[in-house]
A and B are shown apart, each in its own frame.
Chain A
Amino acid sequence: MAEFSALLTAKAEWKPHQIAKAGDLATLAAAATALAETVKSTLKLASAGMEVVKLLSALQNINPLLMALEALADEVLKQIQDLKEAGYWYLYVDPYYEGNVTPTQKYNYGFEQLRNKAGKRIWEIKDDSGNWTDTTNIPTLAQLNEEKAKPHYTSPRKLIPGGFDRDNPLQDPLRSSSDGGVSKFPTFNTKEVIKEFVKAFDDEGDVPRYKLLGAVSDAPKAGEVVYDDDGNAYIGWNPKIDFGLELFDLGKASENGSTIKNYVAARKALNSKQSVGKPNILGNTEFDGGSGAIAIIIAASDFQSFYDVFNQFSKMFSDIPEFASDTGKNLLDALTEIVTPNKVTVKLTQVDTKYQSFIVGDIIGGKIYNSIGEIVEIIDGSVTPTLMIGRKAVGDTDDEGNITSVMEDYNMNPVDRWIDMEVIVNPIRNIDGLNPWITGDMVLEMEKRGESGNPEIRDDVFPNYVFKGQDTTELPKASRIYPKVAIVSMEKLMVLPDSTPPDFGGIKIKDIVPGWGEFFQLLENFVLQLKGMISDSNAFIQDMIDMIKQVEEFLEYMIKLIDEFLKFFQITLPSQGVYALYIPNQNGGNKGIQDELSSATGIPPLGYAAGLLFVGTEGDKLIAGGGSKNPIDLLALVLGLL
């Protein structure tokens, strides 16, 4: 229940994004840049070195190859530059991880009502003689109001999520989730994601804010002319006020050909960005100019499918910080924990063997804290008699016949009726989430009574577990069914399982790639050192050959790694579960995007959804192959939406 508690006050925030500037991709881009630049500088040395190896017949063909290599290095550098220059705003709408929106809670707490083996609720009906009898026939509202019928609660009464709902007594809380029944996973549907997208443009306070850099006394005085990034002049400056755009002390008008020849080189930034704010042009969020958007929604009708698509999606967009694998516990980890929680070791004490000991496969539940799980292993050697020492008064008669009472310890478990054991438990999600195993809580054997979820969707049906024999507690002792029972001694901390490759946790570009630049730099220095000595010593030439062999091995290793990553990026994300809306550059500004988002149709109302919205504003330069001035069109191109 804890993982959704922090979601109530959150809201989605706009953030800036530049391809190749974040996450694994940024590391790759940085390394590719280092490699390309080093290759370019070592090419000169390569040509110089070739003078010495004239004997080689292949020398005739080396020049075209060197030229091609240099051209390729230039292309890599240009591509990275282009990617870095294309900037966007992005908005991530996420109900499931440090959620910035609130998913719907689909359960109420109520007293647990008994159910028969098929899961039908048991009611008590009063007959004409005033006797109460059990039935699974649902009474009428009038019968309930006249107290001629009532739910047959468990005894003792127990408050549970999805229990009897006084406000809606006739409908079963465990009815299909598509009909409003309880759901194990909080829902946030596609319409709600779109609503968040649209709403994010309306937040009046969500504007970019720039704060003064340094002391007020060092800044231009209030009323002085200041300049924007493009060198345009502004009046109204006050060093004590936050503004919506980056400002400088010098601009186009400051150039005088003598002391200030280039305002860009000479200027000093007056403020720095404190918050990004919603999409804007030079701080103006109400602009009418060109803007475009790409909205992506990951959605599914059941949580497992949502998780599967999200898994693929997050790997493909690992350059979005929220999806990056190197920021500790990421989004996918959080979802994985919801779908497949880690096993826990629970130390049980006072397992009462009179009602049998627990075995692998038993479903157990905590009586007070609603934890549920399946025993998957009983740890070897952990089963020992429970040490139960009692104190009792013992009469002691002395030689004179006086009886005195003394207190003595005694073994309360002489025939080993109670035992301790450590069990590994696969936690099962309750309707209110995963609940912990709390020391002192009573643990009882559970059994299935009915199901929750949506029976029309595969993987969205979950057993409803109740304490075994809870429908017999009011019967005579001989007819009662007693569940296996124990007390939680403590929960042991478990070491987290290793990640399963291939994933970005298994093979991290950032761990491998940064060495590239350094490696080639080393080579360059080596060649430089040798340059003056090569003709003097055979030993140095041999060193050079050995070094080149090492470089060859390294390159081979690097190519193999790139192939590993290419395997992933060569696939396309399956369309099932991913919905995209591309709004090409239009002249209506943010309002235009809002209107397009609100009016677009074609997305089904699926229950589990998260969304990513990119917004780009029109700039001065032509990009995307010269066809647009809005980087959003470049993004559409590389994502395959065009």
Chain B
Amino acid sequence: MAEENNWKEAELRRDDIKKLLENTKQLAEMYSEIIGIKKAGWENVLRSREKRAEKEKQNG
């Protein structure tokens, strides 16, 4: 076993941190997408309300 475990020059990485950052970033991106859809929905609601109010106004 000792023969196998020898010192080596190592290119160290931190995949744990990288993965955590990537996942958190993806979480933020997806959440952003969802609230974007929600925002568009509210904007539609608002526009249709305004149109309806305008029509009602025109119709007296």
Contacts and interface: CB of A to CB of B under 8 A. Distances in A.
A122 interface: no
Interface string A79-107: 11001000000000000000000000000
B19 to A, nearest CB: 7
Nearest to A566: B21
B interface SS class = helix
B46 A559 contact: no
A72 B33 CA distance: 14
Given A559-B28, A580-B7, A601-B6, A545 B13 contact: no
A36 B20 CA distance: 12
A283 to B, nearest CB: 27
Contacts of B13: 572-573, 638-640
B39 to A, nearest CB: 4
Contact of B21 (A66, A562, A573): A562
Interface in B1-31: 1-2, 5-31
B24 A552 contact: no
Given A544-B42, A545-B39, A20 B28 contact: no
Interface in A596-642: 596, 599-603, 637-641
A538 B50 contact: yes
B20 A32 contact: yes
A534 to B, nearest CB: 8
Contact of B16 (A59, A76, A83): A83
A526 B45 CA distance: 18
Given A80-B20, A552-B39, A637 B27 contact: no
B8 to A, nearest CB: 6
Contact of B11 (A28, A313, A544, A572): A572
A499 interface: no
Given A316-B12, A316-B14, A549-B39, A555 B2 contact: no
A595 B40 CA distance: 66
Nearest to B12: A573
A82 B28 CA distance: 21
B38 to A, nearest CB: 6
Contact of A602 (B7, B15, B50): B7
Given A548-B38, A570-B18, A559 B29 contact: yes
B18 A569 contact: yes
A72 to B, nearest CB: 5
A578 B10 contact: yes
A29 interface: yes
- Range of interface residues on B (Cβ < 8 Å): 35 or more
Given A581-B6, A586-B1, A640-B12, A541 B24 contact: no
Contact of A601 (B7, B15, B34): B7
A52 interface: yes
Q: Which of B19, B30, B50 has its CB near the most chain A CB atoms (within 10 A)?
A: B30
B8 A602 contact: yes
Contacts of B54: none
A296 B12 contact: yes
A485 interface: no
B15 A600 contact: no
B7 A76 contact: no
Interface string A556-588: 101100110110011011111011111110100
Contacts of B9: 575-576, 578-580
B27 A72 contact: yes
A582 B4 CA distance: 10
B22 to A, nearest CB: 7
A76 B26 CA distance: 10
A579 B50 CA distance: 69
A580 B8 contact: yes
A569 B17 contact: yes
Interface in A485-542: 538, 541-542
Contact of A555 (B6, B8, B28, B42): B28
B34 A69 contact: yes
A28 B24 contact: yes
B32 A552 contact: yes
Interface string B38-55: 111111111011100000
Contacts of A563: 25
Contact of B38 (A20, A50, A317): A50
Contact of A596 (B5, B24, B33, B34): B5
Nearest to B19: A79
A134 interface: no
A265 interface: no
A35 interface: yes
Contacts of B37: 56, 58-59, 62, 65
B11 to A, nearest CB: 4
Contacts of A49: 38, 41
Interface in A239-275: none
Contact of A538 (B7, B20, B39, B46): B46
A69 B28 contact: no
B28 A58 contact: no
A600 B8 CA distance: 10
A633 B44 CA distance: 53
B12 A578 contact: yes
A571 to B, nearest CB: 8
B7 A581 contact: yes
16 contacts: A19-B16, A50-B38, A53-B44, A65-B37, A72-B30, A76-B20, A76-B23, A317-B14, A562-B28, A566-B21, A572-B11, A572-B13, A579-B7, A580-B7, A602-B7, A639-B10
Given A19-B16, A56-B44, A579-B9, 9 more contacts: A53-B42, A53-B45, A72-B30, A316-B12, A317-B14, A566-B25, A569-B18, A601-B6, A638-B14
Interface of B: 1-2, 5-46, 48-50
Interface of A: 19-20, 25, 28-29, 31-32, 35-36, 39, 46, 49-50, 52-53, 55-56, 58-59, 62, 65-66, 68-69, 72-73, 75-76, 79-80, 83, 295-297, 313, 316-317, 319, 538, 541-542, 544-545, 548-549, 551-552, 555-556, 558-559, 562-563, 565-566, 569-570, 572-576, 578-584, 586, 595-596, 599-603, 637-641
